[in-house]
Amino acid sequence: MPERATRRTRLVVAGNPAHVAPHVLDARRQGHLAFVVTSRPALRCGIEEVEQGTWFEVDLTDRDAVADAFRRIGESGGIDLVVYVGADPEPDVPAELIARGFANVIAASAAARSARLLLAHAGETDDPERRAVEDAEDALLRSHRPALSGTRIRFVPRPRLLLTGASGFLGRHLVEALRDDYRIVAMARSSQSYCGVPQHPNVSWMQVDICDRAALADAFSRLRETGGLDFVIHLAAYYDFTGEPHPEYERTNVVALESLLEECRGFRLRRFVFASSLAASEFPLPGVRLDESSAPDGRHPYAVTKRRGEQLLLERFPDVPSVIVRLAAIYSDWLEYPPLFVSFERWRSSAWDRSILGGHGRFAIPYLHVRDVQTLVQRTLEAHEELGPGEVLVASPDEPTSLHCLYDLVAGGEEGKSPRAPYLPAPLCHVGMVARDLFGRALGNRPFERPWMSIYIDRTMPVDGSRTRVQLSWAPRPRLALERRLPLLLANRAANPAEWQRRNQAVLDRNRTGRHLELHAILERLEPAVVARLAECPPAGAAAAADDWGTAIAYEQLRAAVRNRDAFGFATYCELLAERRFDQGALPREVDAELAALESACLETVRSNGASTPMGSRVEEVIALAIRLGRDQVEERFEELRLHPHRRAG
């Protein structure tokens, strides 16, 4: 006999919008058909996609509106269960309004002949005001028996966690590790689809540049409205291997961190986890090991900004409960650690210098598998109450792995025997690095190894992380040690060289001083000139309202698209611009003229200032591509709005 189709449970979730989202996501994951009756739109509750006719944004104190929503849901197939999520008393929401909303939901549930109602509250409470509200709700629920079967339950919602830098190597792995136990808000400059992070019911994505103070404030406003935060894991940071100062170090690692901490002051965080690095400390003297008490005294620009970040947490923001995690060099089964990737490729190549090791090959740092990092972060969150304020943890094995050891394992290949590595004294290494760097500058293709690296030849970084291991009941697993894991890494490289190159090149490119940042710096410097040129030459054929169309905003969106390497971000802005212009009665050719004028002003300003010379024609190409996509989006949006005037992108 054919198997009978299982009917989906029809569930209505109503009540406190801040806590609606986790119930809806749980219901979805379990295969139920979830309807929502609440006072906020889906996006403001952290729900990105809703089925047609399943979300009812109504004022719960409006008896008729609530009754109408339940009637429509009931007529479409009945109601099996209503879950009313009780609201916590708020200073600006009188208790009588909360009670009225619950009374309206009960009445509407009974009228729609709902099978059952659950009154859900989050955890126990000692707050007298909240207890009074709950007691009144209990009495109201009892008064509707036996017409409506009702029960009160208490639930423990998953903690909500904000993860910055979610698109990076470590960020993507942490999303995967934590998503079943936490409601994750992943924040990154790039979109979720661009980063390749899979969709998951417990993961919501916020495409935000944390360096954009206004965008960050808006994001935190939405987080506050949708239930707040329990934890923050701050991974977002700038790093490159050039050894040279760069504005992004200050902008991303210090200024953006300060802005983030300011926003976090408005939440009752259980813990702010700050991802620092063992590289924040200088290599120790012989016989000394780095531990949790070691000073962050490194001289690299990255180390300097990490030190300042730690100081911000401890000195400026002691009211934000924090923990500092100093990480070893992190790798995966595909490697994905740029310095080793460059060395591995050279050692397995036919290059003339493939077997030369600097100094005596004794340079050694500790390496930690990304899966051990996942476990350490999980333990840190679980043990947050046992950690002191501003606690420093060391995520690292104790023993570093030397360059010579890795060379023997990698260069030997399948034969198991590596060619003998000739050593090159440190002074000669430095001279060679300088010469190669100068030659690379002349050709426009500088090598990965830079002269500053020569000062670390034969330096070692032993660690003593015993205190962290005791506190967290955690230790790096021997089977994930780099020396033991290398055969698997090399097997992955041999079996799927394209994937090996893709993953490692992506991490390598992300850690370089990107051209997109140089382009952004040029556009930022030229902003006054571009705006002035647009004011002198208004868009020909544009609408009368064009003078208020927001030149500064449009230019800011263009710069953001360049900085984030996301031309579609500018196209999204143009889609919203098209909607506004459509509502104002403008024609598509008029909006197109506005964008054409912006492109012309940008290109003419760049050329007249000689800004494109160091980058060739790259600046002009990036501008032209972004604005072309934007103009196409305007034309497409106008066509859609003519057919469906009430459909909006938001």
- 533 pLDDT tier (thresholds 50, 70, 90): confident
Q: From CA 468, how far away is CA 475, in angstroms rounded?
A: 9
pLDDT top residue among 497 and 529: 497
CB distance 321 to 312 below 8 Å: no
pLDDT top residue among 260 and 584: 260
- 505 pLDDT tier (thresholds 50, 70, 90): confident
Please state the pTM of the whole predicted model: 0.71
How big is the CA angle at 29 (ends 138 and 572), to the nearest 5 degrees? 105
pLDDT of res. 390? 92
- 22 pLDDT tier (thresholds 50, 70, 90): low
Average pLDDT in the 483-497 region? Answer: 94
Query: CA-CA distances (angstroms) from residue 416 to 250, 408, 421, 486, 618?
Result: 46, 8, 15, 12, 46
Q: From CA 557, how far away is CA 520, in angstroms rounded?
A: 11
With a pLDDT cut of 70, the percent of the chain lying above it is 85
User: 276 - beta bridge partners?
Assistant: 326
| Lowest mean pLDDT across 99-108, 181-190, 240-249, 365-374 | 240-249
CB distance 279 to 298 below 8 Å: yes
Q: From CA 508, how far away is CA 614, in angstroms rounded?
A: 22
For strands 401-402 and 364-365, give the pairing: antiparallel
Average pLDDT, the chain: 84
Q: Is the dihedral of CA 278, 282, 285, 288 positive or negative?
A: negative
Return the residue matching tokens 């009228």.
111
Residue-wise pLDDT tens digits, 409-463: 888 754 455 566 677 888 888 888 888 888 877 776 778 888 888 888 999 999 9
CB distance 448 to 513 below 8 Å: no
pLDDT of res. 545? 43
pLDDT of res. 515? 56
- 614 pLDDT tier (thresholds 50, 70, 90): very low
| Lowest mean pLDDT across 22-26, 60-64, 124-128, 552-556 | 124-128
**Phi-psi sector, 356: left (phi>0), alpha (psi -120 to 50), beta:** beta
pLDDT top residue among 416 and 200: 200
| Lowest mean pLDDT across 245-259, 521-535, 602-616 | 602-616
User: 325 - beta bridge partners?
Assistant: 275, 393
Q: Radius of gyration over alpha carbons of the chain, in Å?
A: 29
Tell me which amino acid residue 90 is. Answer: E
The DSSP H or E segment spanning 11 is strand 10-15
- 554 pLDDT tier (thresholds 50, 70, 90): confident
pLDDT of res. 459? 94
- 139 pLDDT tier (thresholds 50, 70, 90): confident
| Stated length of the chain | 650
The answer, yes or no, to whether residue 544 has pLDDT greater than 60, is: no
Instruction: Report residue 356: phi and psi, to 5°.
Output: -85, 130
Instruction: Report residue 359: phi and psi, to 5°.
Output: 60, -130
Q: From CA 44, how far away is CA 538, in angstroms rounded?
A: 37
- 567 pLDDT tier (thresholds 50, 70, 90): low
pLDDT of res. 321? 96
Q: From CA 635, how far away is CA 626, in angstroms rounded?
A: 15
The answer, yes or no, to whether residue 3 has pLDDT greater than 50, is: no
Residues 6+ apart with CB under 8 A from 572: 633, 649
The answer, yes or no, to whether residue 538 has pLDDT greater than 70, is: no
The answer, yes or no, to whether residue 386 has pLDDT greater than 90, is: yes
Tell me which amino acid residue 131 is. Answer: R
**Phi-psi sector, 493: left (phi>0), alpha (psi -120 to 50), beta:** alpha
The answer, yes or no, to whether residue 257 has pLDDT greater than 90, is: yes
Q: From CA 487, how far away is CA 414, in angstroms rounded?
A: 9
Residue (of 109, 228, 112) closest to 160 by Cα position: 228
pLDDT of res. 414? 46
Q: From CA 174, how far away is CA 636, in angstroms rounded?
A: 38
In order of their start, the domains of the chain are 10-155 (3.40.50.720), 237-510 (3.40.50.720), 515-643 (1.10.490)
Query: What does the DSSP assignment read for 140-172?
Result: HHHHTTTTS-EEEEEE-PPPEEEEETTTSHHHH
pLDDT of res. 413? 54
pLDDT of res. 6? 59
Average pLDDT in the 605-617 region? Answer: 61
Other beta carbons less than 10 A from residue 467's beta carbon: 15
Residue-wise pLDDT tens digits, 141-191: 888 777 788 887 776 778 999 999 998 999 999 999 999 899 999 999 887
Residue-wise pLDDT tens digits, 37-59: 888 887 777 676 777 788 898 88
The torsion angle over the Cα atoms of residues 376, 380, 382 and 383, rounded to 10 degrees, is: 130
Q: From CA 554, how far away is CA 567, in angstroms rounded?
A: 13
